[in-house]
Structure 1
């Protein structure tokens, strides 16, 4: 009998090893819907053993009975998107546990990197023209699994002429005249919204979009900003709401979701909070800029836990402007809301955090805690295509480290001075939509 038990244990261990070997690579989208038996019940012959008092499982999905609180502790230990797919592919209850996980920003694995397929094209090098979705393809790769990637494209039978307005909760946002389209960057699934109002002024020289919550969440809204209005679509409804605002027709430069609030920064570096209920309201947040030695030229806003950070790639001195091969440096500031007006406070270190940014401010920025767990490095800023190099996907720069100016992408083309290029998708970071709603 003891030998039989040992054989059963060995078979159980072999089964677990086999499951680990069968985990699909990044490109296997179907993994998230495939249920896998992790723990089998005791031997089928156990019930025929007289006098047996050993406890047996109640069925083949014994792990499905784990409490969400325990599953959340397991989720915290996940170190890559590849492992996340394996977790959500275990069974339905495990996928449901992900949807009740507090926040994607507490995950310990990094976002995926989206790289447009084809040679690098500088912004505005093709003039002001729409994007052809039929030519729109990209690759997704995982910083934890550099040898794994998947190729994606926009589905067929899709409106071909579009402007790119940004990425939010794993969806690429496109508009053209009255058409608006959301494309899942990981699966390629598309969602077409109701027709936009005429003369919306989105695209060409203005336009940026964001989802207020995952697309599958109740009360999720799509917000699109032109120079004079915000267009709001409650997901699942048949029409748009139009909310005019007065920012002297300045372009919205970046949108960030911070502690449940929508914050936007315009081309004059004014920070505003956006309130949707009970009625639309946009209010400027008073900030004292005198605490900065140099006024930022092209900053990123990054939500990092309970901190709102500003990241700036600045020149070391005026004399080194464009001349020194190692003349630039990343600086990070924290917005101190405890004083009025709020002020920026310089941070010397990011401690155990890493930040992920891309030049195009229409795309999301992320923070990741304890990146050493997946092979990354703390106190670093991961930039999607920092240098004008065909072979470079992303670059990790330690805070305070000098960045060579020679070969750096023309970030001024993404600054407040120039509107973004609505005819192309640049390199960016994202979490696939299924990370936000794996139970769907």
Structure 2
């Protein structure tokens, strides 16, 4: 290759082929830190967030020797949380989360966040809120915190935050924070000085996914919406055909929206909670027809899905999990009893085994912070 003077001159295409072969987040960090041209190639790689399994953040696992962050702008006391990397389980990792009320630790020091609770997790950030008008968006691994302006909710109205999520990585030019609170949808264009309120006329959003820049939302009744952010906030209902049998709309007691590549999937189980003997099903949203259709998916092909035990944490996915010892066509959950993950193969009931004779995955939406799957913000695609 004529004209190449050294390692920093390697073409972007070749560097991208190297990125695709790296086997851990630490390898990817080392690659990005090599030189400016390698970091630029890493930043432009289109599918960083699905190269490796997400990290499992476990606030319920004791941390013996917390490691300090390299930098943080948090003024509140912090709590160490154990982090498991399925691709490199021999490596010890931890992160520091601002200490807030949802940890329920009575021995913890007083914190300015004692009135804050967990509201959601997306793009490597957790979203906290008090019961009034304030929110915080905290990077899980750097601790860098941004504070949106107060929600335009009357001070005498009890503001219970049901769900919160980012519509894009926080550094993206069109990133918004979506908050479902006090019966309304609120949108904060990240970095702006005001929040926009939208009435629940078209439904209050309980989950969002993003497909090729288009935000899709779902409410409690499984109704779907497109959410346009520019030039103005607009929600529009998507007409969906459930195959002529409306009971199929409700046969999934638990349900999650997740994007795998170019597919929007609805994943769920018929039981109240994923348990031994239960089967998980998946349906792909076909937007090519009018109305749109949910089409049952028999196999996830080369994808694996990771679902947190708090329903406000966005499900994540990974391509070609066999690279790190995982399994395609499977859904991974965290199991509190074993402090480990449980794997459901799509379409097949979970069978008992000697290590976990009886599995019950409790899915909640409470105030306590639950173990969750996260992708560090710098690996999230913009």
Q: How does 1:122-137 map to 2 (within 5 A)?
A: 136-137=79-80
Cα displacement (A) at 1:266: 0.9
Cα displacement (A) at 1:326: 4.4
Q: How does 1:11-30 map to 2 (within 5 A)?
A: none
- Determine which of 207, 222, 245 is the counterpart of 1:254: 207
* CA 1:183–1:149: 2 relative to 1, 3 Å: farther
* CA 1:276–1:110: 2 relative to 1, 3 Å: same
Distance, in Å, in 2 between the alignment partners of 1:407 and 1:356 is: 17
Distance, in Å, in 2 between the alignment partners of 1:425 and 1:167 is: 11
Distance, in Å, in 2 between the alignment partners of 1:188 and 1:218 is: 21
Q: Tell me the equivalent position of 1:394.
A: 341
Q: Tell me the equivalent position of 2:243.
A: 290
Cα displacement (A) at 1:182: 1.3
* CA 1:362–1:229: 2 relative to 1, 3 Å: same
| 2:288 is aligned with 1:338 | yes
- Could you report, residue by residue, the CA deviation over 1:136-163 in whole angstroms, capped at 9, with x for unpaired residues? 5422211011122322233487533212
Q: Tell me the equivalent position of 2:269.
A: 313
Residue ranges of structure 2 left out of the alignment (5+ in a row): 63-75, 100-110, 353-357
Distance, in Å, in 1 between the alignment partners of 2:241 and 2:331 is: 25
Residue ranges of structure 1 left out of the alignment (5+ in a row): 1-54, 120-132, 316-320, 415-419
| 2:362 is aligned with 1:410 | yes
Structure holding more helix per residue: 1
- Determine which of 71, 80, 89 is the counterpart of 2:24: 80
Q: TM-score, normalised by structure 2?
A: 0.81
Q: How does 1:124-203 map to 2 (within 5 A)?
A: 136-155=79-98, 158-176=112-130, 177-199=132-154
Does the 8 A contact of 1:307 with 1:334 survive in 2?
A: yes
Cα displacement (A) at 1:244: 2.6
- Could you report, residue by residue, the CA deviation over 1:343-367 in whole angstroms, capped at 9, with x for unpaired residues? 2221221121111112323111122
| 2:207 is aligned with 1:264 | no
Does the 8 A contact of 1:175 with 1:203 survive in 2?
A: no
Cα displacement (A) at 1:270: 1.0
Q: Tell me the equivalent position of 2:43.
A: 99
Does the 8 A contact of 1:256 with 1:303 survive in 2?
A: yes
SS of 1:358's equivalent? coil
Distance, in Å, in 1 between the alignment partners of 2:339 and 2:80 is: 18
SS of 2:360's equivalent? coil
Cα displacement (A) at 1:57: 8.2
Q: Tell me the equivalent position of 1:51.
A: none
Aligned length: 346
- Could you report, residue by residue, the CA deviation over 1:323-376 in whole angstroms, capped at 9, with x for unpaired residues? xx8431111111222222222221221121111112323111122221111111
Q: Tell me the equivalent position of 1:68.
A: 12
- Determine which of 365, 370, 379 is the counterpart of 2:315: 365
- Could you report, residue by residue, the CA deviation over 1:63-112 in whole angstroms, capped at 9, with x for unpaired residues? 2222222222222222321221221121222222222222335x421111
Give the greater-gyration-radius structure (CA).
Answer: 1
Runs ≥4 residues deviating over 6 A:
none
Distance, in Å, in 1 between the alignment partners of 2:54 and 2:244 is: 32
- Determine which of 246, 260, 285 is the counterpart of 1:304: 260
- Could you report, residue by residue, the CA deviation over 1:297-330 in whole angstroms, capped at 9, with x for unpaired residues? 1111110111111111225xxxxx99xx843111
Does the 8 A contact of 1:271 with 1:285 survive in 2?
A: yes
Does the 8 A contact of 1:116 with 1:137 survive in 2?
A: yes
Cα displacement (A) at 1:240: 2.0
Q: Tell me the equivalent position of 2:302.
A: 352
SS of 1:340's equivalent? coil
SS of 1:145's equivalent? coil
Q: TM-score, normalised by structure 1?
A: 0.71
After the TM superposition, which of the residue ranges 168-177 and 75-84 deviates more from structure 2?
75-84
